[in-house]
Amino acid sequence: MGIIDDYSMILLILAVLFGIFMAWGVGANDVANAMGTSVGAKAITIKQAIIIAMVFEFAGAYLAGGEVTSTIRKGIVDPEALADTPELFVYGMLAALLAAGTWLLVATAFGWPVSTTHSIVGAIIGFACVGIGFDSVQWPKVAEIASSWVVSPIMAGTLSFILYMSVKKFIFGATDPYVAAKRFVPVYIFLAGYIVSMVTLVKGLKHIGLEVTFQQALIYSLVTAMFIALIGIYGLSRIKRVTRSEQGDIVNLERAFGVLMIFTACAMAFAHGSNDVANAIGPLAAINSVIENGGMVGTKSSIPGWILLLGGTGIVLGLATYGYKVIRTIGTHITELTPSSGFAAELAAASTVVIASGYSLPVSTTHTLVGGVLGVGLARGIAALNLKVVGTIFASWLVTLPAGAILAIIFFYILKAIFGTSA
């Protein structure tokens, strides 16, 4: 355990720096995904998106981030395989953070909406296979995570397709769409409030010592969602019908859905914070745990609040400084988005990510968002999609996993050469 004791402060400082770098990448790439639909639909400005992200990313990361973090921290690599050489585990997690952060920097520079989950999981698998051994990876857990990468965009696409078709039927297809919107938009607001409330109460409060039963969560979530819906009704009441005409009704309807997209943007930011903060702070929490416990790998410990706050801070900085590049890709390049179609994509993606977070599955926000956008695009017809951009996005997804793995292997051997091993 000499290396851990001798270099504990240096290793922890590196972990913090690399963790902030990775969190910055998550904000620049993944939070841009979360906000891209709202900005692309012109429901909110980039400045407003940053403010929303600051509040709800922090809330999601701190209240509901612990569940998925446990999967990244100790669910992929078998800790017992590293019991005699904890420094290799620390090197590997440092390499994973640096590798994933580097790849996100490159991808964001080109405006590619890649998966941060792919990046970090691929990096961890890469260092584990080469630096420790093929058998050190818990492949059943990896298979579970990989399956979620397929299921989540399909689920989000299906939900967004259904939601957008319901809007077309119950609102745009109504005799008086403006009146119908006043009646049905609060229902969608209620759904968004209910989804976020449930995951917070059922899964998000355990690690800070607050637990409620499922029955209590149902009641509290219903009350919270009703309150949020009332706020939405008030906002809609401020949108007045100036003149009754087909064009005027369309404009007013989109304004109504613009109000709704503010709620779905909040839901998506919360969902992203709860799920994807783990990509940045999972390895950092693992390193901190090993150092705190004198080199014991796999020791159970709570995730310190400062680590969750560090992740939230880095994420917001990434969005504010570099997120505009990926926002353009998601918001305008896949398909033309309006508030009425963008809300369906956002709410469907938020629902998928929040449900996944509740089941401790680190799904990709990128996959769910793109799946949601594709769903509303298909609801309008295949011609509404920019298939060339979609193909480029899919290609970047395929490259991300090996890129993270290769970079992690390189950084792992560099760190191993610098600090050495106890063997």
The tally of domains found in the chain comes to 1
Q: What is the pLDDT of residues 123-148, one digit of tens each?
A: 988 988 887 788 778 788 777 777 77
* 29 neighbors 104 (Cβ within 8 angstroms): yes
| Greater model confidence, 14 or 343 | 14
CA 409/CA 406 separation, integer angstroms: 5
Q: How far is 267 from 34, CA to CA, in rounded Å?
A: 9
| Contact status, residue 49 vs residue 387, Cβ threshold 8 Å | no
Question: How far is C-alpha 85 from the geometric centre of its chain's CA atoms?
Answer: 33
In 3D space, the residue among 133, 93, 101, 132 whose CA is nearest the CA of residue 119 turns out to be: 101
Domain span at residue 222 reads 2-419
pLDDT in tens, 218-275: 898 899 999 988 987 887 777 676 666 666 667 777 877 777 788 777 777 776 777 6
Q: Minimal CA–CA distance to 60: which of 317, 354, 279?
A: 354
Each as own residue / partner, the long-range contacts of residues 237-245 (CB below 8 Å, 24 or more positions apart, any chain) are 241/178, 244/178
What is the dihedral sign for C-alpha 346, 352, 355, 356?
negative
Please say whether the beta carbons of 257 and 37 come within 8 A: no
CB atoms near residue 139 (< 10 Å): 13
pLDDT above 60: residue 122: yes
**Element of type H or E holding 195:** helix 177-199
**274/323 Cα distance (integer angstroms):** 19
Cα–Cα distance measured from residue 282 to residue 270, given in angstroms and rounded to the nearest whole number: 18
The structure's pTM equals: 0.81
C-alpha distances out from residue 286 to 22, 79, 209, Å: 15, 10, 21
Tell me the per-residue pLDDT of 320-342, one tens digit each, with 9 for 90 and over.
888 888 887 777 778 888 888 88
Comparing 403 with 207, the larger pLDDT belongs to 403
pLDDT at 150: 78
Question: Rounded to an integer, what distance in angstroms lies between the CA atom of residue 285 and that of residue 290?
Answer: 9
The two three-digit tokens of residue 133, written as one number:
């051994």
Answer whether 98's CB lies under 8 Å from 411's CB.
yes
pLDDT in tens, 371-394: 888 898 888 878 778 888 888 888
